[in-house]
Amino acid sequence: MKALVYTATQKSEIQDIAPPIAVAGQSVISLDFCGICGSDMHAWHGHDDRRIPPLVLGHEAVGTAGDGLFAGKRVAI
């Protein structure tokens, strides 16, 4: 799958990464839209020591749950 990966301060690139695998109590979401927010940009500018590259940015998303409790339902993250 494709993902925007934060690779270094003020650098990112689209990379092919392994698809996620859900464990008990989780669900893989087929994303329709995903955004980056201010905290992602704060990290991208090098102002967040907790976010160490390489790191997939984007934690605000909308999609459809593929399995689990909400299988087939639209969800917002």
pLDDT digits (tens, 9 = 90+) for 38-53: 989 999 999 999 999 9
The pLDDT assigned to 54 comes to 95
Query: DSSP per residue over 10-46, as a string?
Result: TEEEEEE-PPP---TT---EEEEEEE--HHHHHHHTT
The pLDDT assigned to 27 comes to 92
pLDDT at position 68 over 90: no
pTM of the predicted model as reported, rounded to 2 decimal places: 0.78
The answer to whether the beta carbons of residues 71 and 28 sit under 8 Å apart is no
High-pLDDT (> 70) share of the chain, % = 100
High-pLDDT (> 90) share of the chain, % = 70
The answer to whether the beta carbons of residues 37 and 51 sit under 8 Å apart is no
Q: Mean pLDDT over residues 33-39, rounded?
A: 89
